[in-house]
Amino acid sequence: MMNQNAASLSNQGSDNTRFLSSTFHSHMPTLRARFDRYNRILKSGSADEKLGLIQELRDYIFAEEEKILFPNGDAPEGIMWQTPVDESRYGVEIHLMLKLCADFEYSGEYRLKMREIANNIAVAMAADKDMQFAQHNWSGMDLAQKKTVLRKAQKIHAQVQQLDGIQTSQNISVVFNNEARALPDGQHNPQFGYASHSDSLHSIFNSKALGWMFGTPDSIINYNIHPDNSFMRGGFATALSAMHHEQQHAFQSALALAYFEKRIDPASPYYKDAELLYRLRMHDCYVPPSIYSVYRKQALERDTFDFQHLMETHLRRPFPGSGWAKDPAQARAHGYTLDGFFGRIRKWFRGPEA
């Protein structure tokens, strides 16, 4: 009977729905009222209501999973943000989350602008001798050299990308960690991840709303260099594309902050996109990879995965004029060897004294 009540919401057969927890939905009138509310928000709710419902459903799924995985109530705080969810238990909730996520779209102008920016970044990277050398010699580089190339890719991205005069900070911290997918006992390592971006933007928004002093968002990009990270195993274009993904998250924050501080013209073709990013960050509305099917479809990640794909496509093409880099004799003539590469590129960051 619960599946019948869910049918109008999900438009799915009974195979794709499930009985909701009796501890959460205690009786049918409550269940019916809940689905009436879900349908109302889905059909005519405000953006704030829809974002709030995504969060509510995310938290409900996490609470139910914790009851199953930790029946003694000893779940570590935040564990479900890193622990994959059995999505087969939550067909109704996930279907609704996907419908809600689909309501938040970027403008065609924004998507075209991101394609233009990705091309500009690729052009700047293709003209860089260090990047030319790295593209042809990635597999022979040691880990320290690869980390330095990844840092430089982030720097070039930050320098080139701008929209209506809006850019990210040029001093974003890049932190490398080394986390295996599994713990020594074979269990999933909750600290494992590919790469991530974090900042204090949500706190800044709330501090301002409460009349407190606020500063600037301190962005940090974390990148996992462990061999279990498939991006590191995938070669030059794949490894760098993950860094571009996280830098795009930093750019999203820059646009959200510009909207918040009224630094973007309401007449701008990207104004609504900045407003969308502001709402997403203001509500802290984010679904982590542990609910993977929703994670890839939410607005914040659609944008960054699209940008990552654009960059990987560009970076897979041999850079024009870079043939010298795959010939050791020509590379030496240009002052490049694998042994000397690290010192040379380090000077780009520290100056001639390095």
pLDDT per residue as tens digits for the range 23-39: 444 445 677 888 889 99
pLDDT per residue as tens digits for the range 240-264: 999 999 999 999 999 999 999 999 9
The bridge status of strand 220-224 relative to strand 195-198 is antiparallel
Mean pLDDT of the chain: 86
pLDDT per residue as tens digits for the range 119-134: 999 999 999 999 999 9
Q: Which of 49-58, 197-206, 265-274 has the lowest mean pLDDT?
A: 197-206
Q: Which residues contact 313 (CB under 8 A, 6 or more apart)?
A: none
Read off the pTM: 0.83
On the question of pLDDT at 171 being above 80, the answer is yes
Q: Which of 58-62, 122-126, 170-174, 179-183 has the lowest mean pLDDT?
A: 179-183
Backbone angles phi, psi at 171, to 5 degrees: -125, 40
Average the pLDDT over 294-313 and give the result: 97
**Which tokens go with 217?**
């968002």
Mapping DSSP onto H, E and C, the string for the chain reads CHHHHHHHHHCCCHHHCCCCCCCCCCCHHHHHHHHHHHHHHHHHCCHHHHHHHHHHHHHHHHHHHHHHHCCCCCCCCCHHHCCCCCHHHCHHHHHHHHHHHCCCCCCHHHHHHHHHHHHHHHHHHHCCHHHHHHHHHHHHCCHHHHHHHHHHHHHHHHHHCCECCECCCCCCEEEEECCCCECCCCCECCCCCCEEEECCHHHHHHHHHCCCCCCCCCCEEEEECCCCCHHHHCCHHHHHHHHHHHHHHHHHHHHHHHHHCCCCCCCCCCHHHHHHHHHHHHCCCCCCCCCHHHHCCCHHHHHHHHHHHHHHHHHHCCCCCCHHHHCHHHHHHCCCCHHHHHHHHHHHHHCCCC
pLDDT at 329: 87
> Helix 338-350 to helix 129-137 angle, to the nearest 10 degrees?
150
Positive/negative CA dihedral, 180, 185, 186, 190:
negative
CB atoms within 10 A of CB 165: 9
Confidence of residue 208 (pLDDT cuts 50, 70, 90): low
Cβ atoms 245, 263 nearer than 8 A: no
Query: What are the residue boundaries of the structural domains of the chain, listed by start?
Result: 2-101, 108-350
pLDDT at 29: 62
Cβ atoms 257, 217 nearer than 8 A: yes
Confidence of residue 12 (pLDDT cuts 50, 70, 90): very low
Q: In terms of pLDDT, which residue wins out, 76 or 5?
A: 76
Q: In terms of pLDDT, which residue wins out, 240 or 337?
A: 240
Confidence of residue 8 (pLDDT cuts 50, 70, 90): very low
Average the pLDDT over 349-353 and give the result: 47
